[in-house]
Structures are given as structure tokens and as C-alpha cells.
Chain A
Amino acid sequence: DVKVTQSSRYLVKRTGEKVFLECVQDMDHENMFWYRQDPGLGLRLIYFSYDVKMKEKGDIPEGYSVSREKKERFSLILESASTNQTSMYLCASNTRGGSPLHFGNGTRLTVT
């Protein structure tokens, strides 16, 4: 069974801090994704990576960056956290050839 693991379930950070959210998948998937989930807004795509060191912006990339140095790991970086980045962050992965998204358990980030 595909396993997508997010390193933290809950995080509390202060405004202005640099924040790293880590995601690891164990199924050799080419594609990895970061979504943000807010009530009433569904899941909004922040960034998508289709290969090591390759990335594409999603719908809401402002204030975020990503890093994919290894195939199994995809990191989301908040360069300077702000209170409006308080949210649930979901990582997902799938195969390029065509499979559904498999999600991690999510990281609930609170920025105070």
C-alpha cells in the first residue's frame, strides 16, 4: 500500500519564521504535490513536482517555495510565515503514467 508520510501532524510557528514541511513517499512516484485545505475552499494546489528538481506553480504559490532533491521527498517552504498561512497542508503523490492521488495525513500549521 502506498505510504505518504508528512513529518509533522501539528506545527505552531511565529510570524516571520522560516517553516519547512516535509513529505516522503515510498512508492517511487514521479509526481508529488502540495495542497492547502481551508474550509469552504476545498484543496488548492500550491506546487507540483513531476521529477527531481522540477516544479510547477499551482494556483496559490505566493509566499511558498518547494524543494525536491530526491525522488521520494518533497518539501514545502514558507520563507517568512504569516498568519494567513495558518491552514491544513496536504502532500500527495502519484505515478506519471496515471494513478489517483495518494495523500498524507496532513500538517495542521498555526502561525501566531
Chain B
Amino acid sequence: GENVEQHPSTLSVQEGDSAVIKCTYSDSASNYFPWYKQELGKRPQLIIDIRSNVGEKKDQRIAVTLNKTAKHFSLHITETQPEDSAVYFCAATYNFNKFYFGSGTKLNVKP
């Protein structure tokens, strides 16, 4: 099956700085890559996603890049704010069936 690795496991940044979280996947057939944010005690919520036919996608302060050749994708958060503090998960799936998740990154944005 698919194997998704995520780094770093924890990330601490100063408010206003950028944060980058990286994931690699093993199955070249995977074609959809979502990112989820999970605040303490809450359910994971989708924040951005990318399909394999696209190299980059941006939504305000959040962007995701995909390198299919290298089989890695990254989440970029610019101008971080304290409310960005949460655990972030990347995932990979082939045709929206089984979703395989990374181990998570705990982002701490210091005011």
C-alpha cells in the first residue's frame, strides 16, 4: 500500500514568519493530495488540496506544491498567525478511495 512520510514532527515559528511542511509518498499512482488542520480537541478539517495534474495551488496565505517526479508535496503558510497553531496532516490517495496520512506536524506560532 501507500506510505506517506511527513516532516518535521514539530515546527515552531514566530508570528509573521513562513512555515513549510513536507511530505513524501511511495505510490506513483496516487493522484490526490489533501492537507488537513486539526485544532486541539476538534476534527481534522480540509484546508487545501491538490490533484496530480497540477503543480501548485494557492488559497490566500496557504499554498501547496506537488512534484510528481520526486513524489513529494509541501504545504506553505505565509504570514503565520497564532490561530494557525494546530496539527497538520498530509494525505495521499488514488481515486479518492483509501486515504493514507502522514504522521502529523505540530505547528506552534509564537506571538
Contacts and interface: CB of A to CB of B under 8 A. Distances in A.
27 contacts: A40-B104, A42-B4, A42-B6, A42-B103, A43-B44, A43-B89, A43-B101, A44-B101, A45-B98, A45-B100, A48-B98, A50-B97, A56-B98, A58-B98, A90-B43, A95-B96, A98-B96, A99-B96, A100-B34, A101-B34, A101-B44, A101-B46, A103-B43, A103-B44, A104-B43, A105-B43, A106-B43
Contacts of A75: none
B95 interface: yes
Contacts of A95: 96
Most chain A beta-carbon contacts within 10 A, residue among B34, B44, B45: B44
Interface residues of B, number: 25
Q: What interface size band does chain A fall in?
A: 20 to 34
Interface in A49-92: 50, 56, 58-59, 90, 92
Interface of A: 31, 33, 35, 40-45, 48, 50, 56, 58-59, 90, 92, 94-101, 103-106
A48 B89 contact: no
Nearest to A108: B41
Given A90-B43, A100-B46, A40 B9 contact: yes
Contact of A48 (B6, B91, B97): B97
A34 to B, nearest CB: 12
B111 interface: no
* In the A-B complex, the 4 residue pairs with the closest CB atoms: A42-B103, A43-B101, A103-B43, A98-B96
Contacts of A31: 96-97
Nearest to B5: A42
B43 A41 contact: no
B94 to A, nearest CB: 11
A42 B49 contact: no
Contacts of B99: 33, 45, 92, 101
Contacts of A41: 103
A45 B99 CA distance: 8
